[in-house]
Amino acid sequence: MILIGLSAGGCSFSRGSDAFARMGDSEVTGSLKHMQAAPTESDLAFARNAASDVLTRGDKDSSQPWQNPETGARGSVTPIAQAYSGDDGRICRGFLASYVNGKSESWLQGAGCKSANGHWEIHTLKPWQQS
């Protein structure tokens, strides 16, 4: 009976004023698979650590997986370009990071630069904007 009730009940989904539920002033509607969850600060910390690790190794065509056991979010980080000289003369490199949480999938883009002590510091990590 419960299964019949659930299957006959249909599907309803309502969101508040969440930035991912709205685009400008118009409501976004559609299937749930197109909605993206926003990474938490702890998710971003795990992604930053993975980015620093993969940039430190310096391997060509390598990726570093990451996972946040607290939220269940996971992904991987892959350098996408050759190293370049930053504005301050440091060696820098860009990367893409995948973000998966439940059925939500998205991409983050970032860049890191090598510090004076040889460690890679991630200075940007934000949602990927395709050009």
15, part of any domain: no
Task: Give the pLDDT confidence score for residue 114 in this predicted structure.
Answer: 94
Task: Give the pLDDT confidence score for residue 102 in this predicted structure.
Answer: 92
Which residues, 6 or more positions from 22, have their beta carbon under 8 angstroms from its beta carbon? 28
42, part of any domain: yes
24, part of any domain: no
Domain range enclosing 121: 38-131
Q: Give the model confidence (pLDDT) of 44-62 as tens digits.
A: 999 999 999 999 988 777 9
4, part of any domain: no
| Structural domains counted in the chain | 1
What is residue 130's DSSP assignment?
Answer: -
Integer CA distances (angstroms), 33 to 85, 101, 105, 113, in order? 39, 12, 9, 35
Q: How confident is the model at residue 109 (pLDDT cuts 50, 70, 90)?
A: very high
Higher pLDDT, 130 or 24: 130
Q: Rg of the chain over CA atoms, in angstroms?
A: 19
